[in-house]
Amino acid sequence: MTATTTTTTPNPDPSGAPGLSEPVGEPPLLEVRNLTVTYGGGADAVPAVRGVDLRVEAGQKLGIAGESGCGKSTLALALLRLLPATAKLTGEILLDGEDVLTMKWGRLRAVRWAGASIVFQGAMHSLNAVHRVGDQIAEPILLHSKATPAAARKRAGELLEQVGLPAARAQAYPHELSGGQRQRVMIAMALACDPRLIVADEPTTALDVMIQAQILRLIEQLVADQNVGLIMISHDLAVLADTCDRLSVMYAGRVVEEGPAAEVYTDARHPYGKALSAAFPRIGDLSSRHAPRGLPGDPPDPAALPGGCTFHPRCPVALDSCDTEDQELRDAGPERRAACVLVDVDGTHVDSARPDAKGVNAGGAQPGDDEARSTS
Ligand SMILES: Nc1ncnc2c1ncn2[C@@H]1O[C@H](COP(=O)(O)OP(=O)(O)OP(=O)(O)O)[C@@H](O)[C@H]1O
């Protein structure tokens, strides 16, 4: 995608996300401002994404974590306006400073694949079973460039080699490849038009751990070599912490915590971030103190969100006021933000010992139990 004018002054950072330096005069690669996505309308409206701000620079890897149903895939699809017509979007999605939400269709077609491309989960379902994978990789090249069919096929072979497969595998049909190989094909396809941003939605979920590690290292290598931006979406906080620079944790359609990936994983500020982190085992420490612990209860139905802080019904440290008072993201230490009334501006941890804490879910993840997560 061609960068739009860079003569304007830098956009102020509405998310306030610190630590993301922006070259003077250059808009960030991706800036999402106050994005909302609502499926349907009236009494049946489902607010799947609610006021999300994100920012990704070239070469940066942002992880988006959260339980099933928190709006991760909706957010990913919204970035390229790939949602069904029932979805209503508001806010801004600025790709190189150009708003995806107000683009004309012709421009949007050009931006898809070339400006940003998506690697979906479940390559078997995303690839067309009756076409050779080389032809499927060549297709966006033919659509987005003046390449001849022969040149596009040659490029497809090169892309396969780039993702660690022999060029000759271009002749294979999806069912002739292993799950890991198919996911490599998906990544090759995503790279076909030299995008500036790659959105990877659960790219390794269906793979065994060995192949998962290979695919993650491949994605990391490609981001470094080609200086693209990466948004990686996963329910697996450990995978994101291992792969990404920064992490945003979503709950009920909103970002409730963000910061450097390793810090959010080992020392989350928000009770939900803490609970999500505590749900994953720490490699190398299998003592009972570090045993993974689940979070009782389920995320709320987006069509019937609880009042106040949407996490309060599951929160082990909720105060009475959390039933009615919602929280915006607030500073929670250097380069950290969290949407919790108990987070102090200086980043002091959630204080689970407050006398007015209601102490629900006493058997679940205990946010005050930081020690258990700080030694990995
Ligand atoms: N086409 C749709 N019409 C109505 N509601 C939808 C539609 N797609 C998703 N939703 C709802 O929007 C909410 C967010 O769904 P989404 O798939 O974005 O979550 P997710 O975090 O990606 O979950 P998962 O990890 O299970 O894919 C859910 O409540 C879901 O039921």
Q: Is residue 298 part of a domain?
A: no
Please report the pLDDT score of residue 348 as a whole number. 57
Listed residues 207, 239, 266: the one ending a domain? 266
280 Cα: distance to centroid of ligand 1 (angstroms): 23
As a whole number of angstroms, the distance between CA 284 and CA 297 comes to 29
Assign 27 a pLDDT band (cuts: 50, 70, 90). Answer: confident
Q: Which residue has the tokens 């349907």?
A: 40
Torsion 330-332-338-344 (CA) sign: negative
Is residue 63 domain-shared with residue 98, that is, in the same domain? yes
Q: Is residue 74 part of a domain?
A: yes
263 Cα: distance to centroid of ligand 1 (angstroms): 28
Q: Is residue 147 part of a domain?
A: yes
Q: Is residue 294 part of a domain?
A: no
Overall average pLDDT of the 78-92 stretch:
95
Residue 251 has pLDDT above 50, yes or no: yes
Residue owning the nearest CA to atom 24 of ligand 1: 68
Residue owning the nearest CA to atom 30 of ligand 1: 69
Is residue 200 domain-shared with residue 109, that is, in the same domain? yes
**Would strands 229-234 and 246-251 be described as parallel, antiparallel, or unpaired?**
unpaired
Is residue 338 domain-shared with residue 359, that is, in the same domain? yes
Q: Is residue 160 part of a domain?
A: yes
For residue 49, the ligand 1 atom closest to its alpha carbon is 14
**CA of 242: how far to CAs of 277, 308, 335, in Å?**
13, 33, 18
Q: What one-letter code names the amino acid at 18? A: P
CA neighbours within 13 Å on the CB side: how many for 172? 16
Listed residues 155, 170, 192: the one ending a domain? 192
Residue 367 has pLDDT above 60, yes or no: no
Is residue 183 domain-shared with residue 37, that is, in the same domain? no
CATH code of the domain covering residue 217: 3.40.50.300
Is residue 38 domain-shared with residue 150, that is, in the same domain? no
Is residue 131 domain-shared with residue 33, that is, in the same domain? no
Is residue 137 domain-shared with residue 110, that is, in the same domain? no
As a whole number of angstroms, the distance between CA 286 and CA 101 comes to 47
Is residue 92 domain-shared with residue 180, that is, in the same domain? no
As a whole number of angstroms, the distance between CA 45 and CA 15 comes to 26
Read off the tokens for 118: 């998506």
Read off the tokens for 291: 């045993």
String of DSSP letters for 308-329:
SSTTGGG-TT-BGGGGT-----
Overall average pLDDT of the 301-322 stretch:
92
249 Cα: distance to centroid of ligand 1 (angstroms): 16
As a whole number of angstroms, the distance between CA 180 and CA 215 comes to 8
- Residue ranges lining ligand 1, Cβ < 6 Å: 39, 46, 48, 66, 68-74, 84, 86, 235, 302
Q: Is residue 57 part of a domain?
A: yes
Helix (H) / strand (E) containing 28: none
Q: Looking at the 3D structure of the chain, how many domains does it have?
A: 3
Q: What one-letter code names the amino acid at 149? A: P
Please report the pLDDT score of residue 290 as a whole number. 55
Is residue 160 domain-shared with residue 90, that is, in the same domain? no
Residue 18 has pLDDT above 70, yes or no: no
Probe target for ligand 1 pocket from 73, 120, 237, 249, with the most ligand atoms within 8 Å of CB = 73
Which strands make up the sheet holding 98-99, listed edge to edge?
46-56, 30-39, 87-95, 98-99
Please report the pLDDT score of residue 19 as a whole number. 42
Q: Which domain holds residue 76?
A: 26-115+194-266
Q: What is the pLDDT of residues 174-224, one digit of tens each?
A: 999 998 899 899 999 998 998 999 999 988 877 788 888 888 898 998 899
Assign 2 a pLDDT band (cuts: 50, 70, 90). Answer: very low
Q: Is residue 310 part of a domain?
A: yes
**ipTM score for this prediction:** 0.95
Is residue 68 domain-shared with residue 213, that is, in the same domain? yes
What's the pTM value of the predicted model, to 2 decimals? 0.83
Is residue 261 domain-shared with residue 206, that is, in the same domain? yes
Q: Is residue 97 part of a domain?
A: yes
182 Cα: distance to centroid of ligand 1 (angstroms): 25
Is residue 107 domain-shared with residue 149, that is, in the same domain? no
Please report the pLDDT score of residue 363 as a whole number. 39
